[in-house]
Structures are given as C-alpha cells and as structure tokens.
Chain A
Amino acid sequence: MDILKEISENLELGDFEKVSLLTKKAIEEKIPVEKILKFGLIGGMDIVGEKYKTHQIFLPDVLMSARAMHAGMDVLKPFFIREGMPNSGKVILGTIQGDLHDIGKNLVGIMLKGAGFEVIDLGTDVSPEKFIETAKKEAAYIIGMSALLTTTMPMMRKVVELLKKEGLEDKVKTIIGGAPVSKDFAQSIGADAYGYDSTDAVESVRKLFNQA
C-alpha cells in the first residue's frame, strides 16, 4: 500500500506509534517531507475532522488521531529547522484575562494544528495587550480568544478595540468562542468570526485566511 495512505489510515485509527514508525520509513524512502506532512498527516486529520463532523466518530477518536498527528510531526520537525514547518497560517490563541478555563481552548488549538495551522498558545488569563503584542511580534493574521464566563467576555471587546486603535483591524482578524459566547455577541463587539466548537473553529479560521 502507498505509505502516505498507510500513514493517513493509522492516523485515523489513532495508532501514534505506527504513525511515528511509518513517517520515519517514508523519510527513508526519500519521500519529500512536505508531501508526508500534506498528504499523510494533514490529509489524515482532514478525513478525521470530516468523520467527526458527520458523527461517524467521537471526540476521543479525534483526540487519539491528533496525538498520532503530533507523533508524526515530531519526526518531521528536524527536517524543517531552517525554514520552519510549512503551515497554512499563524494563529495566536489564548483564554481571555480573568479566566483560567483551558480545555475548550486546547481542543481548538489541537484541531487547528491538525489542519496545518501554526498555533501560538498563550495559555490562560491572557491580557488584551499580550494578545496584540504577540500578534505583532509573530506577524500572525489571527487572534483566537476563549471565554467560559460571562464576567470575562467583555475583555474580548477590549482586544477588538485595541486592534482598531492601533489601525491593525485589516492586518489581524479576531475569532472568539466558549460556552457563553455566541455569534450575536461576536458581531456586537466587532469580532471577525465566531466558532461554536473546534471543528467549526477550523472552518471559520480557514474562511478568514481565504478572505485575506
């Protein structure tokens, strides 16, 4: 069987040890690393994402596949040291100031990485200034913010306002999510997108990049 297909299939099964071994084997077979990444790993995660969206598999399956994806990426990383891992775009991600919830934000990060984006995770309790400072430093196009409490949601508005104040609203786009957050709220604070869950987040981020 085509080794890239084999990588993708084992990734679907969540067999991280096999994915790691097969990625090494593919390198030995002189398959270009970009191709292994694009068709073996990201290709596999795309299928997983689609199956999850159509309820053929469940969250734990997706997360086992994501672990396998990371195992493959770890093998590829040394080959990209000079020019950095190719990616579909950079996303700064974090839980907004005052909030320490991180599971939802982590899941979004995992799925974005699985879709080939570079994710810079600032963790929890992230101030608006820190989001913007990092976006500027990293020349990232997207800031993703998570909030699980109504009391911390207003901080998201501050990020959008600060971006405008600095004249960065065309250079940096914002996407928000979290249990109490809604599409209406996103619109009301002028955020560029809202993601209901981690697969929706990937779609929305892709859309933002496509509109860029």
Chain B
Amino acid sequence: MRKRFEISVEDIEPQMDEVLKTQGIPSDKSPPEKVKSLFQESKDIFLKYSEPVGIISDISVFEFETVYRGEGLNEKETPLDEILNKADNLVLFALTIGERVSEKIRELFKTNDFALGCMLDSVASAGTDKGGDVLEENFFNLLSKKGKVNLQKCILRFSPGYCGWHMSGQKKLFEFLNPEDIGINLTDGFLMIPLKSISGVIVFGDKEIFNFDDNYPFCSECTTHECKDRIRKLFRDLRPEKEKGGR
C-alpha cells in the first residue's frame, strides 16, 4: 500500500500556547495582546498559504532493516533497534506544507517585519509537526478498518536525526518512499526541500514494545526527553469517541 493524503490545513492548525512556548513565552503567563494578535495574524497567513500533503508506504520489517541501517552511521543501540522486530506493521512517511509559507516568511524578513516573520516560522513548524500526527491517525484508521486495532495496540513515529537514527538515514528512506511526487526533494546534505517537511517511520504494535527507557548514551545530550511524553500519551484511549464507554 502506498497512499497519498491531501490534508486539510485546519487539521494541522497549531494551538497558541504550543507556538508561544517555542518563542520562549511561558504558558503559565497570559501573553500580551500584541503577541496574541501577532499569533492570530501569522495563523491566518499559515492557513492561507500552506498546502499540507503527506504520503505513507508499507514496508516490511525485513525491508526496513536495510532502510534503517542507512549509511551505517546510526548509534550502536537505539530505541528503534529494540522495537523493530516486535512491530506488527510499519509505514514510511513524509509530509510537507509546501514552499509558499517559507516564501512568505522570507518576504516578511525582507520587509523588516521580523516579529511576524518569526512567529509565522514557529506556527509553520508546529503545523508541520501536527501534520505528522494526522498521518499517524490516518494510518491508525486504515488499520482499524482492517480490524487490526484493539486496546493494546498503538502507534509511534520516529525520524532520522532523532534518537540515534542518523540524518543520513534519509537517503535510503527517500530511495524507498520516493516522496518527490509530493514535492519533497533531498539535498546531498540530507536536507529536505521544502524546509517545512518531515520524514520517518510510523510503527504499529503492542503498547508495551514502546515502553523504552531514556538512558541510551546519546540521551545525555537530548534537551527534551520528548520520548517520555510520547510514551505517556500512548497509554491514552485511542478508540473513536463513540466507541469509548462514558461514565
């Protein structure tokens, strides 16, 4: 299965607090009016100019091992090394919001509207990341239709450049996925163009397989320990609202 998703921009609209956090504004303080209106204005531009599109493609564990080995530059032991063989299903993914928002950001900086340009950049980055969540959901729904989903199952995505998977892993990933047809190209330095793009693998399997510790040697340099949050979220109820038993 190889599937392209034209994503509605409203589905990846980021929340104000998550964007302001990336601008160094703490969420426990109410932001000044000026900042709120900057956020609103950049969100409007984001909604007007982004063109989110994503792609997912099935890959077997065997095939993925080649992709994951990449150029041989990964860390010795990684969370994915442990998870892979226990996974039920894998898909490679790539997603972009296109070049137009980045053009708009450059334009704003050129005309000295730095605050709006910078806020738009943060909105666009958060939106791109949210696009990854939408692809995860779409994949989950496809599996659900096939009757593969139950309360013990969940999904998590991983990207080259994170958690011991070297950036150069994108080379093999691109060779297998060919996201060029959704407009993403890879440079020799493993940079995706458009800039606001993400890539990686989405793993589906038993919740327990994702319960790894954040104590790999490279974790000492990790500033976010984001895995902890992501693992915590996995243990939430993923069934559609109507199927959840209310109290």
Q: Which A residues contact B (CB, under 8 angstroms)? A: 14, 16, 58-61, 63-64, 66-67, 70-71, 97-103, 106-107, 110, 149-152
Contact = CB atoms under 8 A, between A and B. Distances in A.
B191 A59 contact: no
B137 to A, nearest CB: 28
Interface in B161-200: 161, 167-168, 187-191, 193, 195
B38 interface: yes
A102 B168 CA distance: 21
B23 A67 contact: no
B14 to A, nearest CB: 16
Interface string B103-140: 00110010011110111010000000000000000000
A152 B190 CA distance: 9
Interface centre among B105, B121, B189, B195 (most CB of A within 10 A): B189
A70 B161 CA distance: 37
A151 B73 CA distance: 11
B109 A106 contact: yes
B22 to A, nearest CB: 10
Contacts of B161: 149-150
A85 to B, nearest CB: 16
Contacts of A102: 106
Nearest to A103: B121
B23 A149 contact: no
Nearest to B23: A59
B34 interface: yes
A98 B114 contact: no
B233 to A, nearest CB: 24
Contacts of A61: 32, 34-35, 115
B102 to A, nearest CB: 9
Contact of A100 (B34, B118, B191): B191
A152 B118 contact: no
Contacts of A107: 114, 118
A84 to B, nearest CB: 20
